[in-house]
Structure 1
Amino acid sequence: MGFYVHPNCQAASFALNTLGWMFSMVCMGLAKWRIWYIESSAAPSRGLACVGMWKVCFYQPYSLHSRPIACHRYTYSDTYLPLDIRIGQHLLLAASLLALLGKVLTIMGLRRVYAGELQKDTTCNLFFASGVLSIIGGIFILIAVMWNYHAVISEEGIRFPPSLHIPFRPDWQEIGSSVPVAFLAAFLLLLSGLLTISFQLAPDNQVYPEVSQE
């Protein structure tokens, strides 16, 4: 017998998918994926550099709460970007698009359920496809997070243009605050996908026990 989940669970899954999609969009725009501490270089290179997936910002003095001196947005013509950032950009974009498409499919499935159009194959396929898309999107974000983590742990450098006055490699670097946001987005998308896939319509010929009246 198939496992039945109340349609309200799918509404909760839709809410989780929406939150995951929002966090995935937010983490893309943040610059604090890697925090670079630059001390040994001469001014104006001394300070903090926040390396993101789509931009790099330079702070001075060493405070993330101060206003950045300058932010440089990457373009597709920037050949100096390492492979992990280039692939991370595409993974995050794909994850956001997949989560958005999953939202649309979930809405279509919920519309059928609440409207009483219980066509089992069609409705379950909609929820199943939505769940798969959400799970793939969550995996894409996790790959970008883990690759960024490996780059920080390995102390990999980036050959920024001389005009940015950022050295190839900082004195030390650490994980930025954007990573927990991305990890939360991945978790929400994965959880939403698993809940959505678990949905199946109740059997048409349910058997109810007879209650004897004396």
Structure 2
Amino acid sequence: MAYLAHTAHAQLAALWAACVGWILISVALGLIQWRVWLLADRDVVSSGVAWVGLWRACFNSHTVVSPGFQAMHCKYIDPTEAFAPPEIVAGQVLMLLSVLVGICGNAGGLYSMRNVYFGVERGSVGFIATGALCLLAAVMSLVPLVWNLTSVVTNQTIQFPPDFKLPPAPAAQYVGCGIGVGMVGAALMVVSGMVFCRYKAPARAKPGTPCSLVPASRPAPTGLFTVLKGKDNPVFELHEHL
């Protein structure tokens, strides 16, 4: 069994980075702080701040409260509704696919590292496939992240239905922590994918190549440990023919 663990130190660090990146992307998927809206009218939105995520739009209120949320009103953003912006719909689909592809990439990384540490020679195909999955997950998450970031920077509005209790345009808006967390996770997935793809399996020795336990630069041992050419024992050969 070949010893290959020393060839994948960078890939072990990349596996940790891929796990952390996948966790951050999963966290960003559920956060509501993708867009932070500042509202001038505080009759309904008591704090004057509303959060728009991929799945919900929420704000604190002392007059309108959603069941299950203490002093908070939240409404689900259905991707089939006409008011849902394309960047939010794309984020719901692509971020979810990114989480699924990312977990497949982490599983592939674990399997490849298992082969390396157990000396199972599989070449670099497993690491390349793992790197491709990590890069694909990063691209899938970066598309909605950058798209929503651009929408905030350009101050895009959303025509919410009346039951959301939100105006179509805020007084001001800025990027929330959800996009930041997703960006960090996607960056870690990109780095880990590139490191996985750069793995090179060690070259195998050609068949028939003689192996010597004594280095060529050292002289052969002499004295007591010298290999002596002995003679055949006729008694032993006689017992073999019985």
- TM-score > 0.5 by shorter chain: yes
1:48, 1:60 within 8 Å by CA — same for their partners in 2? no
Identity %: 26
Contact 2:7 2:202 in 1 (8 A): no
Q: Which residue of 1 aligns with 2:177?
A: 177
Q: What's the counterpart of residue 64 of structure 1?
A: none
Distance in 1 between the 2:42 and 2:20 partners? 43
Which residue in the other structure is 1:99 paired with? 102
Deviations 1:124-167 (A, max 9, x none): 11111110111111122222221111101111111111012100
1:135 paired residue number:
135
- SS of match in other structure, 1:35: strand
Give the residue type in structure 2 aligned to 1:141: S
Using the alignment, how far apart are the partners of 2:149 and 2:33 within structure 1? 12
Unaligned runs of at least 5 residues, structure 2: 1-5, 63-69, 210-214, 221-242
Structure 2 distance, partners of 1:42, 1:139, is 39
- Give the corresponding residue for 1:211: 217
Contact in 2 for aligned 1:57/1:68 (Cα 8 Å)? no
Q: Which has the greater radius of gyration?
A: 2
Partner of 2:154: 154
Structure-2 separation of matches of 1:210 and 1:27:
59
The answer (yes or no) to whether the contact 2:141–2:182 under 8 Å persists in 1 is yes
CA contact (8 A) 2:45 2:60 kept: no
Structure 1 segments unaligned to the other structure (5+ residues): 62-66
Residues in 1 aligned to 2:152 and 2:56: alpha-carbon distance in whole angstroms: 17
Query: Relative contact order (alpha carbons < 8 A, sep ≥ 6): 1 or 2 greater?
Result: 1
Amino acid at match of 1:154: T
- CA deviation map 1:33-86 (0-9, x unaligned): 1110110x362146211011111111359xxxxx75212222344331100110
Higher mean Cα deviation, 159-168 or 68-77? 68-77
The AA in structure 2 aligned to 1:174 is: Y
TM (normalized to structure 2)? 0.76
